[in-house]
Each structure stands twice: as structure tokens, then as C-alpha cells.
Amino acid sequence: MFVLIAPLFSGCKKNHDPNPTPSINSFSPASGGAGTLVTISGVNFSATPAENIVTFNGTAAEVNQADANQIVVVVPAGATTGKIAVSVRGVAATSSTDFTVVALPPTITSFDPVSGGTGTVVTITGTLFSSTISDNIVTINGMPATVTAANSTQLTVTIPSGATTGKIAVTVNGQTGMSATDFTIFQAPTISSFTPTFYDTSTPLPTVTITGTNFSSTPGDNIVKFNGIAATLTGATDTQLTMTLPSGVTSGKITVVTHGMTATSANDFLVGCPDLIVTDITVSNVSGDSFDVTYHIKNIGGVPLDINNMYFQGYISKTATLDGLQYVGAGGDPRFGYFKTYDLLAPNATLELHRNAVNGGSITTYPYFVLQIIRELNGPIECNTGNNTLGTKIQP
């Protein structure tokens, strides 16, 4: 009888552990701030990123890449200095040394728009901003700006008054990031003068030159209006704009809008025609047929009048009108002459003029003196040439 004895192989059985213990051999870099990529090297990691649970001193991190021997993770916001732990299918490993968390400065990758003036709203794009508005300190070339909205990658700020061209800086938790390029600050334009100061509607449309500051040398960047009527620029520098006066303009202010900011002229640009009248005549120093004349002229029109292009005709008359009259004047010249030393006579302005030793006829037969304003051939055309004559009695 044979007895079969089974060999004992139990001592040679191989144990296959379904959940091998992971191990962390090293990590690099050894320190960094939120957002830093850290490579963890070791064994028994999972090639499926989601199966690797990584924490920095207890704060969970996002796993970007993974294989059996290496994991790439992002240092999470809020992480603090401490051990790195990796758990794979419930089995954990902890680093032998601490990962040191340091504060990293925010970064500015872009901003839009790249230029503007006071009140311009600017969107700053970057990283490591705070979603708490008050935690972000933003300056434009050192001038604090108001932050109106914030998240971790984008800030909305308003350009403050007094800001100057320079870098944008964002400070979060004491760490500062600076823009690579300047934000250009546009200053508000100003109008110091313009020429001509008026338009006589009897003449062709003039070329107007506006002088000031902070204009754009690109004509299309300047919007010029005459009492609301837009003009087309023919030239532009930082300090001077030129254009042909647009048709249909009425009296009013000139405005220049450059980069969204407006300048308004202190004085009105006047449009219309002049109208000169004699308001009163005084006769004095009567001696024989000779006498002196003092008279006032007034511009009742809408624009200044160049009286240097006018002359004044004197008569003696049987009535206070241009009836039955004789020319009179100094030395027989009935014209009282041109005035080459006077400035333009502004609307509603009055000027006193004199003429001495007027004579040329019998003031007994012609007891009235009549003064008539005569327009020079190429002088201004008045609104009303029918009111340019006035007469007064020479003596009681």
C-alpha cells in the first residue's frame, strides 16, 4: 500500500499586496508660494492623477500629472509650511522634510486700456490677486487707484486724479508685482485762445486756429465743436488745432474733446454781422459858421466791427435829415476821415469821437448838422445800413 504524501510548499508562497505603500523620496522645489508647481518623486504612486491625494500641511493640492514614480502638483492657496503627504487608494506617505510656503508677489500680464485720463476704468489681468477688494493695493506711478472689483486673476480700477504716466503696481499681502510697460496718462486739454474770435457772415468761412495744451497730434483724436456744431480738423499738434469754420455755426463756446476729456473756451466765438449807429451828437464852440462836433458811435450788431474801414460824412442841412444839405468838413473835406488807431469795436461797445473846426456853409441857412456813417468799399457789410445817420441842431 502506497501512501502519497503531499509536499509542503506553503513556505514558498509569494504575497502580492494589492495596495503597495507609496513612498516620498524627494520634492522640488523645497519652497514656494501658492501656484508654485512642485514635483514629488517616489514610488508606488498611481498613474491616474485623481487617485493621488496630495496635501501641503493638511491643505489639499491639485494634481496636474502623475505616474508611478512622480507627481506634479500646484501649491494650493492657503497652504502653510509643513509636510507633504501623498495618499494612494487609502495608503499614505509623508515627506521627511517640510515644504516651506513663502508669499509670492502677484503678477501683471496685461491691462486694458493702456492709456486714459482721470476716471478711466482699467482692467488689470494677472495672477495671485486677492478676491477681497481691500487686500489689493493698486498704484499708477505711485498714485493710489480705487479698486472696484477683484478676483484672483483680474482687478478693475479707476484712474485717480493727479495720476501721471508710469508703471502699474499691485501689492497683495505685502508682496508687489509691477507691470512691464507704462500706463499712459492723458491730461485734460485746455483752450487758451482762438483766432479769429468772430465770423462776419458777409465774408467767406474762415480758417480757425485754436491754441491750448494737451491736444492730440492725431487730428481724429480731437473733437472740436462750435456751439455744438462739429468741425473737421485740417491740422493738429499738441498745442494747436486748425480747421475751417463749419457752416451753420451760431455764437457760443468752442469745445475740444481729446481722449474723452473736454475743454471749453472762456469766451464765445461770435457769429453775425456788425451794425454801427450814431447814438448822439453834441455841437460846441460855435463861431461864425465854424463849430466843433463830439459824437458817439455804437456797434449794435453781433460781431466786432473794424471801424478803421469806415469813414464819417458830415453835412449841414435845412432839416435833421439828408434833405437840402451841403457837405461840410475841415478844410473843405467832407469826410471826417479813417481811424487807423482803434481796435475792433465790440458788440454793445460805444466809442466817443471828435472833430474840431467843422465848416463849409452857412449855419443860418442850414441850421442842422447831420452825420452819416459811410462804409468803405471793401469794408464790413453791416446788418442794417439804414440806421447810420443822425442829425442835431447846431445852435438853439
pLDDT over threshold 60, residue 70: yes
Query: Is residue 198 located within the same domain as residue 303?
Result: no
Is residue 341, in this structure, part of any structural domain at all? yes
Residue type, 262: T
- The pTM for the full model equals 0.64
Q: Choose the final residue of a domain: 145, 162, 185.
A: 185
> What backbone phi and psi angles, to 5 degrees, belong to 353?
-130, 155
pLDDT over threshold 50, residue 3: no
Query: Is residue 296 located within the same domain as residue 365?
Result: yes
Query: Is residue 244 located within the same domain as residue 213?
Result: yes
Query: Is residue 137 located within the same domain as residue 181?
Result: yes
What pLDDT was estimated at residue 353? 85
Is residue 5, in this structure, part of any structural domain at all? no
Is residue 9, in this structure, part of any structural domain at all? no
Q: The CATH number of the domain where 281 resides is what? A: 2.60.40
Q: Choose the final residue of a domain: 185, 220, 239.
A: 185
Q: How confident is the model at residue 7 (pLDDT cuts 50, 70, 90)?
A: very low
pLDDT over threshold 70, residue 248: yes
Asked if residue 298 lies in contact with residue 320, where contact means CB atoms within 8 angstroms, the answer is no
Is residue 46, in this structure, part of any structural domain at all? yes
What rounded mean pLDDT belongs to the chain? Answer: 88
pLDDT over threshold 70, residue 58: yes
Rounded (10°) CA dihedral 377, 380, 384, 386: -30
Q: Which residue range is the domain that position 253 belongs to?
A: 190-272
Tens of pLDDT, residues 10-48? 444 445 567 799 999 999 999 988 888 999 999 999 999
How is residue 245 written as a grid cell?
469754420
What pLDDT was estimated at residue 5? 46
Taking alpha carbons only, the member of 175, 134, 129, 176 closest to residue 153 is 129
Query: DSSP label at 142?
Result: T
Query: Is residue 229 located within the same domain as residue 311?
Result: no
Q: The CATH number of the domain where 90 resides is what? A: 2.60.40.10
Tens of pLDDT, residues 162-189? 899 999 999 998 889 999 999 999 989 9
What is the pLDDT averaged over residues 352-372?
86
Query: Is residue 267 located within the same domain as residue 295?
Result: no
